[in-house]
Structure 1
Amino acid sequence: MIVASLSRRDLLRLPEARELYRAGLKIVSCYQFGKGETADWLPGASAGVEHAKRGWQLHTAAGGPIGAPVYASIDDDPSYAQYRAQVAPYLRGWESVIGRVAHPAAHLHQVEIDARSVGGVDVNHVLKPQFGQWD
């Protein structure tokens, strides 16, 4: 199964989400803004709060259910030092807004960053039948 992840630039609107759902596609909310030097996680905790608020706003505006997870993507390969100083605080910022980021239904993983894509969208691996999809 291929699950497309839309970034902050690619806003999914409610009519489009309904159309995709009617066509039988599975939808998850996956938030990412920037990459490399512009990655959203670089500023740490305060950026996590800011981006979580925006991610939740986009999720609900597109029709995402209250109980579905919003994936916070780290679409880079941070070092361990970056993880400790920036990524972990960024994710804690997310948690302060939307609750625990490691949601029990979150079973979607992108292991090959930028290595494989379909139509310019990275391929994700679905690890369990219930992976946070909207239905």
Structure 2
Amino acid sequence: MPDLPDVRRTRAVSRRDALRFAAAASAGLGAAALGAGAPTASAAAPTLIDFAAAQIPADAIRAAGHAGVVNYVSLSRPGSNFGAKPITLPYARSLNAQGLVIVSNYQYGKPGGTAPSDFTRGFAGGVADAKTGWGLHTAAGGGRSAPIFFTIDEDISRDVWNTVALQWFRGINSVIGVQRTGIYGGIDACQWAIADGVVGASSIPGYRWAWQTKAWSGTRIHPQAVLYQRIVDTASNPGPLVGGMRVDVNDVMARDVGQWNLHQ
């Protein structure tokens, strides 16, 4: 893992945090974090992979050294057929059997895709997406208190956040509650979601349900993000192969990233 920008402060580990860390370690995220859960450059963080095209065999994920997956609780867009959308109960059980953790993510639309970006549908869209996402999450065995990370897969302005995306998140909150709502996006979108109180908190003090991608983030990493998407698979910069498929790779920034088996 390359050195990360120095945007985090070292925190003292309390006895309560130590107990939380032990519980999280038993939930599959190892022992690579210090302080309130943040990894250092000298201690590689556990990693989760995300992918859409097909269900990668659990033994291949484990063999590649990853701690688990971020998997979709959303359907494929019209005209597409992504094998990993949505996660299914048999696939979730195969991951669990290999000791891998699972985190839920919702994304149906996409910029320039056959369905528009989800956040553009405002409050009513948030209500509908939360209902769909929660239904698929629970059908696959997702933890009842686990969050779903809802996706903003483009670089948006503060005005678009305030007038459109924020309303979408409030629609989501109205169905599943703030504590079960997370965000995927660049650093600005993560910051706005945290500041506006529409995403919940990790059990690790100081961390929120923010899954930050390096896209649209420059070299900055938000100090409250629980996941950081360090490798984004693109045609010009392919991600690593796992089970014969290219994947994105995410660094675990806190022991509690919303994994299902820590949120039953």
TM-score (norm 2): 0.47
Which residue in the other structure is 2:211 paired with? 109
Q: Is the 8 A contact 1:14 1:61 kept in 2?
A: yes
Please say which of residues 107-116 and 71-80 is displaced more in the overlay.
107-116
Please say which of residues 77-86 and 93-102 is displaced more in the overlay.
77-86
Deviation at 1:124, TM superposition (A): 2.8
Which residue in the other structure is 2:140 paired with? 62
1:75 alignment partner AA = D
Counterpart pick for 2:100 among 25, 47, 54: 25
Counterpart pick for 2:252 among 126, 129, 132: 126
Q: Is the 8 A contact 2:127 2:171 kept in 1?
A: yes
Matching of residue 95 in structure 1 with residue 173 in structure 2: yes
Deviation at 1:121, TM superposition (A): 4.0
Rg larger in 1 or in 2?
A: 2
Structure 1 gap ranges (5+): none
Q: Percent identity?
A: 37
Instruction: Summarize the Cα distance change of 1:71–1:131 in structure 2 as closer, same or farther, 3 Å threshold.
Output: same
Between structures 1 and 2, the one with greater strand share: 2
TM-score (norm 1): 0.88
Deviation at 1:3, TM superposition (A): 3.6
How many residue pairs match? The answer is 135
Matching of residue 84 in structure 1 with residue 162 in structure 2: yes
Instruction: Summarize the Cα distance change of 1:82–1:108 in structure 2 as closer, same or farther, 3 Å threshold.
Output: closer
Deviation at 1:69, TM superposition (A): 0.9
Secondary structure at the counterpart of residue 2 of structure 1: strand
Which residue in the other structure is 2:124 paired with? 46
Q: Is the 8 A contact 1:108 1:127 kept in 2?
A: no
Which residue in the other structure is 2:33 paired with? none
Which residue in the other structure is 1:15 paired with? 90
